[in-house]
Structure 1
Amino acid sequence: MSDDVIFVRAPAHEPRGVLRYRGMDFPCALGSAGIVAASKAQEGDRATPAGRYRLESGFYRADRMARPRCALDLHPTNEAMGWCDAPHSPQYNQLVTRPFPESHERLMRDDSRYDLLLVIGFNRLPVVLGRGSAIFLHMTDDQLSHTMGCVALRPDDLLALAARLTAASVIDIGLDNDR
């Protein structure tokens, strides 16, 4: 994997941490259960999975912002886009077209959390049913409210980070004592 690494670190069981990249430090929100070993991750556990993952691509709300500067492939969202979180579905942890008969997240949310989101390559190739889905790097509020397992930054921080990413950027999520 790449040497272009975004580090996310937090104390055990804490829903907040620090994201470090190229001399920048940003406070970040994590899952309410904190960081968990990827091998123990489960759908709905509200934990952020530890490990090193590719940033695959992203999505943004073209009705709310211009395409952000980012080296990753970014796609404008629309009302038909969802992300399957139904643990027994063949489309689990994948982009789906709405209406979709099984449980899924809408990518075009009413709030601003998914105005820009980057797909973290956790449980993607191969997909393990029930291991966890929809792990993204996305926006949060100024209070850094916890997520359901994603990593989240304040809007200006995520835009600043996205502008500096490369196509080879990876994210390394771990506890404070992890190197």
Structure 2
Amino acid sequence: MANGADKISDSDPKQLVFVIQEPNQTRGRIHFYELIDGEWVENLPSFLVSIGQTGMISSSLKQEGDGKTPTGDYPVLRVFGYDENPTLGFPYHRITKDDYWVDDVKSKYYNLHIKHKSKSKSIHPLLRADGFYRLMIVIEYNTVNPEKGRGSMIFIHPWEDLTKPTFGCIGVPFEKLKEMVFWLKFEKNPRIFISENKSEDNVTP
């Protein structure tokens, strides 16, 4: 793998996550790379994940309710969960009964995490009896000045049955997700790349 020591600044990512769609599948494979001593090293084993039920789509074409996972390049900034902080210093929000996410395209809170129950027509409590969001990473798609109707609530969250697609999120077996969260280091400016590209040449940094 190419030496990147002379190309990396303090603000550049030193951890990269790639989610590459499997051919003609509603599944992908996730890869983890970290810059160590100037070399990009794949230091977690890759594994299969579930993606949207209608595949992937360019972030510029993504629409609310289309069941697609948006491709693109996103910073990893926030981890949410039900338990005490499972990370090594990564920004973490412990979910309570007051935590909601809104996907109502008419709401001023569209695609925002809020700490109160609004009058929006479509609002989702993050604390659920089934533990659906017991650990999740926010994919920062359409989260800054959200454009209404362009898609919302794109997360990496627990998903045990990889034969089933998600509604646009990335579904990961819970134990694998815990390993991933523990691996992430905020000071390494991690980013996630989501791609339909099948070429392995484009998976490595």
What residue number does 2:158 align with? 139
Question: Counterpart of 1:56 in 2: which secondary structure?
Answer: coil
Written as runs of structure 1 = structure 2, the 5 A alignment for 1:11-30 is 11=22, 14-22=25-33, 23=42, 24-30=45-51
Q: Whole-Å Cα distance in 1 between the matches of residues 116 and 166 of structure 2?
A: 23
Off by >4 Å, runs of 4+ in structure 1: none
Instruction: Call closer, same or farther: CA 1:94–1:33 in 2, change over 3 Å.
Output: same
Partner of 2:7: none
Deviation at 1:3, TM superposition (A): 4.2
Kindly indicate whether residue 167 of structure 2 is the aligned counterpart of residue 156 of structure 1: no
For 1:92, the equivalent position in structure 2 comes to 110
Letter of the 2:18 partner, please give it: F
Corresponding residue for residue 4 of structure 1 = 15
TM-score normalised per structure 1: 0.90
Q: Which aligned pairs between 1:1-179 and structure 2 lie closer than 5 A?
A: 2-11=13-22, 14-22=25-33, 23=42, 24-62=45-83, 66-102=84-120, 103-143=122-162, 145-167=164-186, 168-177=189-198, 179=202
Closer, same or farther in 2 for the Cα pair 1:144/1:165, shift >3 Å? farther
Change (3 A) 1:12 1:44: farther
- 3-state SS of 1:39 partner: coil
CA distance in 2, matches of 1:152, 1:76: 20
Q: Considering only CA atoms, is the larger Rg found in Structure 1 or Structure 2?
A: 2
Q: CA RMSD in A?
A: 1.7
Measured after TM superposition, the shift of residue 144 of structure 1 is 5.2
**Is the contact made by 1:79 and 1:98 (CA closer than 8 Å) also made in structure 2?**
no
Gaps of 5+ in 2: 1-11, 34-41
Per-residue CA deviation, residues 114-170 of structure 1 (Å, 9 max, x unaligned), is 110111110122311110111111111144532111112101100111111121111
Matched positions, count: 176
Q: What displacement does 1:111 show?
A: 1.8
TM superposition shift of 1:177: 2.7
| Contiguous gaps of at least 5 residues in structure 1 | none
Q: Deviations over 1:36-79 (max 9, x none)?
A: 111110111110000000112121112xxx42124421111111
Amino acid at match of 1:29: S
Paired with 1:112 and 1:70, the residues of 2 have a C-alpha distance of: 22
Gap change, CA 1:144 and 1:169, over 3 Å in 2:
farther
